[in-house]
Structure 1
Amino acid sequence: MKRSVKYYAGILILLPVAFVAVLGFKAADKFYTFKLHNAKDVKEFFKYTPDAVPFISAHRGGARKGYPENCIATFENTLSHVHSLLEMDPHYTKDSDIVVMHDATLDRTSNGTGKIADHTLKEVKSYKLKDVDGNLTNYQIPTLDEVLEWAKGKTILVMDMKELSMEARVKKVQEHKAYASTIIMAYTIADAQKCYKLDKNIVMEVMLNSVEKVKEFDNSGVPWQNVIVFVSQKPVTDPTVFNEIHKRGAMCMEGAAFSYDAAYTKGNISIEELNKDYKSIIAAGADVIEANLAIEAGTAIHDLQQAKMASSSKAKFF
C-alpha cells in the first residue's frame, strides 16, 4: 500500500518523541548536574587540583525576570543553562517549620507582609513569590525539606544560616541524608569547628579573607578537605590568599554579586565588560564565582570549563 509524504513526515516527527518516552526523559529534566553520590565524593569534588574545572555558585539560586529568589523553578532554570551550586536561605515559621527565603520578612519577595516568624507554614504557603522586577509569579515559597529532597542527584545546595543554629542545619542534612547534595555555610572558625564536631562528613563553605585567617584555620582541628573557602565579595587583586588556600588542598570562591553583577544591573558596564570581569576572577586564582547573574557568569566561563574538561581529573563529576 502506498503511503503519502505526509504519513512518513509524521512518523519522522513522532520517532524522537517515542524514543524520549521510552528512555523516560523529558526536556525539562535536562539539567547541568554534578555526579556526586556521598560525602567522600563531595570532599574529592571540592579538593583543589591544578586541573580543577571552574564553575558557578548561584547566589539565592540565580533569580531573574520571571524567576524569584530561593525558588525551585528558579533553581531548575539556572541548572538548565549552567553547572552551578545553589545558595539558599532558611527561616523559621511561626509553627517552627522551615521555609526558604532570603529576608526575614515576606514583603520584598512575595505578596505576603510582615515577618515569616509571625506566619504559620499554611499561611506562608498561601503567598506567591515575586521576581527580581517585583512582578508576581505563580510560584510558592518552598520549605527547606522540599528543597533538600529536590536537590538530590542534581546539584549542591549551599545552606546559609539566617536564624538557624548550626545544630539545626546539621540535623536537616542528617535527616535527609543530603551529604552529597548540601554544604553548610560557616561564617566563623568556631562555626566550622562546631559543624565538624557534630558531623565529620559535612562539607562547609567557610569564610577566610586573609592569609592570617588561613593560618588560624590551620590550628582549628577542622581538616581542609571539609571546606571550600569563600574569600571575598570584592575583587581580589593579590592572589596570595588563593595560593595559600590551594597549597592546603581547598578550593576558593569569590563573590561577584555586589561588585560586577551590581555594576552590570545598574547599567554601569556592558555585557562584554561583565564577561571579562568574570574571567578575571578565575584568572586571579578563584575556582568558583558566586553570582546573582549565574547564567551570565556560567556562560562567560564556558570556554574555560571546556578547555579544562578535556583532561581534568574533575571531569567525572560534571
Structure 2
Amino acid sequence: MRNSWLKGMLLVGLALGVVPVTGQDKLHVIALKKPKETHAFLQFSKGDLPVIAGHRGTVEDGFPENSIEGMAHTLKFTPAIFEIDPRLTKDSVIVLMHDATLDRTTTGTGKIGDYTYAELRKLFLKDAKGNVTPYKIPTLEEVFEWARGKTIVNLDQKGVPYAMIADLIRKNKAEAFVMITAHSVEHAQFYLQRNPQQTFSAFMRTREQFDAYEKSGIPFNQLMAYIGPEVKESNRELYHLINGKGAMAMISSASTYDKLPDKEARKERYRAIINDGASVLETDFPIEAAGAIQSMYPEKAPKRRFIKKR
C-alpha cells in the first residue's frame, strides 16, 4: 500500500516538475553565491514557488531546535531557509539558543551568559519532547560554514551586539546567505550602514510599519516582510503594498497553527496561508508544511533556477 502511494506521489511530482517531499540522499539546496542572487531569490513574482522557512531550524523527527543537524535533515526533504537565534556566552562566543537559559533545550541549567563556550560544549541538546540527543550547541560561525551554498539563515535578535553580528558576517564573507530579522527601521539601517547589500526579514505587520520602511529608503528588493502569525482580512492591504514593491510577505505559524494537535488541521492551515497570499511560510515543522503545500507548487517558477540537488 505504501509503495503504491509513493509511486503515485512520484508521478504527481514529475508532472509538476518537483520532487515529492520524501527523504533523499542528496540535499535540496538554495545555491546562492552573491548578495544580488539572494535579492533575486527573494523577489516577489506572482505564481512563484512558495518558500518554506524553518522556525528555529526544525523540531521534527527527534532533532533539536537551533541545530545544524536538524537543518541538514530538513534539506533532505525540501529546500528551505531557516530562522535561528544567536546568543552570547560568558567569553563572547556567539552560539545558537532561543532561550536565555539552558534548562529547556539542553542538559544544562542556568543562564547561557554565565557559561564559557568550552563549558557549553560539555552539554547536549534536547529535542522538543525533552529527550537528550547526541547533538551539541553550535556556534554561529559553524552555522555559517555549514549553510554556505545550501540555504539562507535568518538571524533573530537575542541580545548579541549588532556590531558583533555584522563583523562576523563580514569576517566569514557570508553576505550572500545571511539575513537579519529587523525589528525596526533603525535596526535595519544599522546593518545597511555597514553592508549596503544586507538582506532583511523586516517586521511589517501594520500599514504604519510599511510606511516607515518606504519613507526610510531601505531597498525593498533586499527584504522579505513578516506580516504576522495568522490568516486575516487585514493581510490583504499588506500583500498589495509589499508585493507591489517587489517583496515577498511571510506568515509564521509557529505561535498559531503549529500548535494544532491534528496533522490534517495543520495541513489545512498551511494551505490557507499560501492561498491567503503569503509567499513565505515559516513553521516549526518545515518538512510537514512542505508536504502539505507541495501540490500547490507551480510547474514553472523563477525561483527554481536557484534550487539544486547536491
Q: Structure 2 length as normaliser, TM-score? A: 0.88
Cα distance in 1 for partners of 2:27, 2:35 equals: 22
Do the aligned residues in 2 keep the contact of 1:59 with 1:87 (CA within 8 Å)? Answer: yes
Structure scoring higher RCO (CA < 8 A, sep ≥ 6) equals: 2
Which residue does 1:158 correspond to in 2? 154
Partner amino acid for 1:99? V
Partner amino acid for 2:272? S
Which residue does 1:240 correspond to in 2? 237
Corresponding residue SS for 1:133: coil
Equivalent runs, 1:128-143 vs 2, <5 Å: 128-143=124-139
Out of 295, 303, 307, the position equivalent to 1:314 is 303
Which residue does 1:9 correspond to in 2? none
Which residue does 1:252 correspond to in 2? 249
Equivalent runs, 1:32-181 vs 2, <5 Å: 32-181=28-177
Which residue does 1:219 correspond to in 2? 215
Gaps of 5+ in 2: 1-22
State the Cα distance separating 1:82 from its structure 2 match.
1.4
State the Cα distance separating 1:51 from its structure 2 match.
3.2
State the Cα distance separating 1:28 from its structure 2 match.
7.7
Which residue does 2:6 correspond to in 1? none
State the Cα distance separating 1:258 from its structure 2 match.
0.9
State the Cα distance separating 1:65 from its structure 2 match.
4.3
Gaps of 5+ in 1: 1-26
Out of 276, 290, 298, the position equivalent to 1:298 is 290
State the Cα distance separating 1:212 from its structure 2 match.
2.5
Which residue does 1:15 correspond to in 2? none
State the Cα distance separating 1:158 from its structure 2 match.
0.6
Cα distance in 1 for partners of 2:196, 2:89 equals: 29
Do the aligned residues in 2 keep the contact of 1:55 with 1:287 (CA within 8 Å)? Answer: yes
Out of 254, 273, 284, the position equivalent to 2:276 is 284
Corresponding residue SS for 1:205: strand
Cα distance in 1 for partners of 2:133, 2:24 equals: 19
Cα distance in 2 for partners of 1:89, 1:236 equals: 28
Cα distance in 1 for partners of 2:104, 2:146 equals: 25
Partner amino acid for 1:240? E
Corresponding residue SS for 1:179: coil
Q: Structure 1 length as normaliser, TM-score? A: 0.86
Partner amino acid for 2:304? A
Do the aligned residues in 2 keep the contact of 1:243 with 1:285 (CA within 8 Å)? Answer: no
State the Cα distance separating 1:133 from its structure 2 match.
0.4
Between stretches 29-38 and 277-286, larger displacement belongs to: 29-38
Do the aligned residues in 1 keep the contact of 2:250 with 2:280 (CA within 8 Å)? Answer: yes
Cα distance in 1 for partners of 2:108, 2:263 equals: 34
Q: Deviations over 1:213-248 (max 9, x none)?
A: 212211112111111101102323331111110001
Cα distance in 2 for partners of 1:81, 1:262 equals: 22
Corresponding residue SS for 1:128: coil
Q: Deviations over 1:34-84 (max 9, x none)?
A: 121110000111111113210211000011342101111111111111111
Cα distance in 1 for partners of 2:144, 2:239 equals: 30
Partner amino acid for 1:174? R
Cα distance in 2 for partners of 1:157, 1:176 equals: 14
Do the aligned residues in 1 keep the contact of 2:59 with 2:127 (CA within 8 Å)? Answer: yes
Change (3 A) 1:73 1:277: same
Do the aligned residues in 2 keep the contact of 1:65 with 1:133 (CA within 8 Å)? Answer: no
Q: Count the aligned residue pairs.
A: 284
